[in-house]
Amino acid sequence: MKIPINVPNLDKKEIAAIIPILKEGSLTSSARYGGKNVREFEKLAASFVKSKYAVAVNSGTAALQAALYALDLGAGDEVLVPSFTFIATANAIVSTGAKPVFVDIFAENYTMDTKDLEKKITKKTKAIIPVHIYGNVSFIDRILEISKKHNLRVIEDSAQSLGSKLKGRHTGTFSDLGCYSMYPGKVMTSGEGGFIVTNNKKLREKLLMIRNHGMVQGYDSKIFGLNFRLPEISAAIAKIQIKKLPKFLEIRRKNATQLSQLISDFKVKIPKERKNERVNWYLYTISTSKRNKILSKLRSKGIEASPYYSRPVHKTPYYKNKIKLPITDWAASHVLSLPIHPKVSSKTIEFIAKSLREILNE
Ligand SMILES: Cc1ncc(COP(=O)(O)O)c(C=O)c1O
């Protein structure tokens, strides 16, 4: 038996929802506001995170690109971003012509180190992209203070943090633009997909154009854009998933709490919520110097523990940046995420904890 790190959670509701779309052949719409399912999903997404507007796109990467294009970032600009993230965050910056400048993280919760952030601001810096990694909320109050002081824009990479909150407010809604992913491994899915939220009407209008080649009424491109449209089938799936999301998040929290209790005496660093923070428990991540040994032993028992991310972005062959990021390097060799998604039962959580205990006692 394999226990995957994350899996899509679909049932007959999603299957039933896509059949009429296939029968009608209404697969997508290049109209300004998109197809029926896209428009309905956007209403649900905006209301879920309590933002004025949501614009659906066809991936989390596209969400980041659209957000960067909407802020007119490009050649000659620098964007501050953690290296300890999925590569998409940096790649989206490169796709605009701007340069990603890598910032270290705090060991506390693996999010952007605000002291290092401030040190890396130059005359060319235009924006900051904090990543709420694993669902952990970045030190967003401080990041916003720094952004105001230096007149920088902020885009939140909330791909992993849909449902996470700080002081009751959703990640993705603190800044100009919040970007989410609906990839199958995420807390909810549409197959491929993503969305951007904003309270700014002008940015919303711009995002609608960017997702559709910069057009407003068709063949009248006013700004640069691409095809970032979310297919109707994906939007129909997303509509059902976002309604199920509160339940999914509740089970993740229950599983995380149970696992934390069972491993509280282990010599590993256990994830904790800080005061006023409510994480979505997308990835339950421990850190330990015995990471590689634990990883292979858990895997031999069918527990698909995963090291997100054993190679930080700045160390990939494409970026091969010589910058020194000590905490990022430490995290890359110490972190290990354990399965706690809604399909993991309480018995399985016990099995994971027991297996971990055996390995640590060897
Ligand atoms: C932090 C982060 N940013 C961006 C993305 C990109 O999202 P997508 O895979 O939907 O393009 C992901 C997820 O894959 C992610 O984890």
Count of Cβ atoms closer than 10 Å to residue 245 Cβ: 19
**How far apart, in Å, are the Cα atoms of 131 and each of 83, 105, 172, 271, 342?**
10, 10, 10, 17, 23
pTM for the whole thing?
A: 0.98
Q: Is 110 in the pocket of ligand 1 (CB under 6 A)?
A: no
Total domain count, the chain: 2
Rounded to whole angstroms, the Cα distance separating 116 from 104 reads: 6
In a domain, 2, yes or no: no
pLDDT at 335 over 90: yes
What is the residue-wise DSSP string for 236-282?
HHHHHHHHHHHHHHHHHHHHHHHHHHHTTTSSSBPP-PPTTEE---S
Tell whether 211 and 301 lie within a shared domain: no
pLDDT at 81 over 90: yes
Tell whether 252 and 126 lie within a shared domain: no
In a domain, 330, yes or no: yes
In a domain, 148, yes or no: yes
Atom of ligand 1 at shortest range from CA of 133: 1
Contact 83, 313 (CB under 8 A): yes
| Rama region for 34: left / alpha / beta (φ>0; ψ in -120 to 50; rest) | left
CATH number at residue 258: 3.90.1150.10
CATH number at residue 222: 3.40.640.10
Tell whether 249 and 232 lie within a shared domain: no
Percent of the chain with pLDDT over 90: 99
Q: Over the stretch 9-53, which tens digit does the pLDDT of each residue have?
A: 999 999 999 999 999 999 999 999 999 999 999 999 999 999 999
Q: Is 160 in the pocket of ligand 1 (CB under 6 A)?
A: yes
Range of the domain at 165: 12-240
In a domain, 119, yes or no: yes
Q: Per-residue confidence at 321, pLDDT binned at 50, 70, 90?
A: confident
Q: Over the stretch 217-263, which tens digit does the pLDDT of each residue have?
A: 999 999 999 999 999 999 999 999 999 999 999 999 999 999 999 99
Query: For residue 1, what pLDDT is reported?
Result: 83
Tell whether 231 and 265 lie within a shared domain: no
List, in order, residues 6 or more apart from 91 with CB less than 8 Å away.
61
In a domain, 1, yes or no: no
Query: For residue 79, what pLDDT is reported?
Result: 98
Rounded to whole angstroms, the Cα distance separating 111 from 323 reads: 18
Tell whether 66 and 213 lie within a shared domain: yes
Q: Per-residue confidence at 333, pLDDT binned at 50, 70, 90?
A: very high
Q: Over the stretch 184-207, which tens digit does the pLDDT of each residue have?
A: 999 999 999 999 999 999 999 999
Going from the Cα of 193 to the center of ligand 1, the distance in angstroms, rounded, reads 10
Tell whether 140 and 266 lie within a shared domain: no
| Cα angle 167, 168, 172; round to 5 | 95
Task: Give the three-state DSSP class for 263.
Answer: coil
Nearest alpha carbon, ligand 1 atom 7: 60
Atom of ligand 1 at shortest range from CA of 183: 10
For a ligand 1 pocket test, name from 182, 183, 186, 187 the mutation site with the most ligand atoms within 8 angstroms of its C-beta.
183
Tell whether 158 and 252 lie within a shared domain: no
Q: Per-residue confidence at 311, pLDDT binned at 50, 70, 90?
A: very high
Q: Is 61 in the pocket of ligand 1 (CB under 6 A)?
A: yes
Going from the Cα of 133 to the center of ligand 1, the distance in angstroms, rounded, reads 10
Query: For residue 26, what pLDDT is reported?
Result: 97
Which of 186, 210, 240 corresponds to the end of one domain? 240
Rounded to whole angstroms, the Cα distance separating 107 from 128 reads: 20
Phi/psi at 276 (5° precision): 70, 5
Task: Give the three-state DSSP class for 265.
Answer: coil
Query: For residue 225, what pLDDT is reported?
Result: 98
User: Average model confidence (pLDDT) for the chain?
Assistant: 98
Tell whether 270 and 229 lie within a shared domain: no
Q: Is 181 in the pocket of ligand 1 (CB under 6 A)?
A: yes
Q: Is 183 in the pocket of ligand 1 (CB under 6 A)?
A: yes
pLDDT at 69 over 90: yes
Going from the Cα of 65 to the center of ligand 1, the distance in angstroms, rounded, reads 11
In a domain, 37, yes or no: yes
Query: For residue 77, what pLDDT is reported?
Result: 98
In a domain, 4, yes or no: no
Which of 240, 271, 293 corresponds to the end of one domain? 240
Atom of ligand 1 at shortest range from CA of 131: 1
Tokens of 26: 């209404």
Tell whether 167 and 310 lie within a shared domain: no
Tell whether 35 and 183 lie within a shared domain: yes
Residue 19, CB-side half-sphere exposure with 13 Å CA sphere: 5
Which of 240, 256, 287 corresponds to the end of one domain? 240
Q: Over the stretch 124-141, which tens digit does the pLDDT of each residue have?
A: 999 999 999 999 999 999
List, in order, residues 6 or more apart from 188 with CB less than 8 Å away.
162, 182, 238, 241, 242, 244, 245, 248
Query: For residue 33, what pLDDT is reported?
Result: 97
Tell whether 121 and 220 lie within a shared domain: yes
The DSSP code for 313 is G
In a domain, 137, yes or no: yes
For a ligand 1 pocket test, name from 79, 86, 156, 190 the mutation site with the most ligand atoms within 8 angstroms of its C-beta.
86
Tell whether 191 and 64 lie within a shared domain: yes
- How much is the average pLDDT of 59-66? 98
Q: Is 178 in the pocket of ligand 1 (CB under 6 A)?
A: no
Q: Is 194 in the pocket of ligand 1 (CB under 6 A)?
A: yes
